[in-house]
Amino acid sequence: MQNTKGKNIVAYLYEDLGVSVDPHAHETVYNYADVAELIRMLGVSPSRVVGGFLYYPPDNPQGWEKFREPLKGSVYPSAVWKAEVLWGASTYHHQGLDLHASGVWKPKDRYHFITHDPGQPLIYVGGYRRSAMILGGLPELVMYAEEGVLEAGKIYTVTVFVSQSMLTDDFIQAFEDYVLKPLKLYEEQGVVEWATLEEVAEIWKTKFGGQPNIFIALDEREKIRELFPP
């Protein structure tokens, strides 16, 4: 712990670097409430974000609708965790059509995931393309915005998914030099804003009045709409 001020790595990321710690579980042994409890054991408050889940097929064993209610732990039965935000709608082992959508909305139910229902409690934050190799599709969305493809006054979201194995000193430096610095101009113009998933949900509620925006990747839009008709 020489490089983390004597703290465990999770506490260091949370307290010193301002990283949001979102529970993530495949739920083969530990469920989401268990993972949230493990995070607490490290002295960190877990976020209210479901950091990845199965959305298709709708009747999959995980069943994301359970996150609408407080969840009790499986390994730690006394542990309770309540989700507020969903992220990372995917298929089993990513072998199907993961949801590459930008925007924020409240999914109606498992059969109508891309239908907004203001009466539902869970907020979904789209990650768009997600892949770090294409910056989650951020350059694509910026291009769409400049070309007038995107509707003005709407919130558009992107996640740049970087695995732990990629976080070398060289990668971090390159990310700063070739991503963060070039995007600074867009930040100053108010076009791009970096935020945690919980912060995005709050921005959506306060700055955008909770108005839904569901922008599905153009090359996958028709297929996704076939899977989840209105």
What pLDDT was estimated at residue 2?
81
In the numeric block, the tokens 């309770």 are attached to: 80
Widest CA span of the chain, in angstroms? Answer: 54
Q: Which among 86, 203, 100 is positioned nearest to 154, based on CA atoms?
A: 203
pLDDT per position as a tens digit, 154-190:
999 999 999 889 989 999 999 999 889 999 999 999 8
d(CA 201, CA 192): 16
d(CA 205, CA 156): 13
Q: Which residue has the tokens 């599709």?
A: 137
Q: What is the pLDDT along the chain (230 residues), one digit of tens a residue?
A: 788 999 999 999 999 999 999 999 999 999 999 999 999 999 999 999 999 999 999 999 999 999 999 999 999 999 999 999 999 999 999 999 999 999 999 999 999 999 999 999 999 999 999 888 888 999 999 999 999 999 999 999 999 999 889 989 999 999 999 889 999 999 999 889 999 999 999 999 999 999 999 999 999 999 999 999 98
The three-class DSSP label of residue 230 is: coil
Nearest to 8 by CA among 32, 34, 39: 39
Burial classification of residue 27, based on how many CB atoms lie within 10 Å of its CB (0-12 exposed, 13-18 middle, 19 or more buried): middle
pTM: 0.95
Provide the 3-class DSSP secondary structure of residue 178: helix
The tally of CA atoms less than 13 A away on the side-chain side of residue 191 is 15
- Give the model's pLDDT for residue 130: 87
Q: Which two tokens stand for residue 5?
A: 């001020």
Determine the residue type at 132.
A
47 CB neighbour count, 10 Å cutoff: 22
Other beta carbons less than 10 A from residue 59's beta carbon: 8
Q: What is the pLDDT, as a whole number, of residue 225?
A: 98
Tens digit of each residue's pLDDT (9 = 90 or more) over 126-157: 999 988 888 899 999 999 999 999 999 999 99
**Distance from C-alpha of 204 to C-alpha of 225, rounded to nearest angstrom:** 24
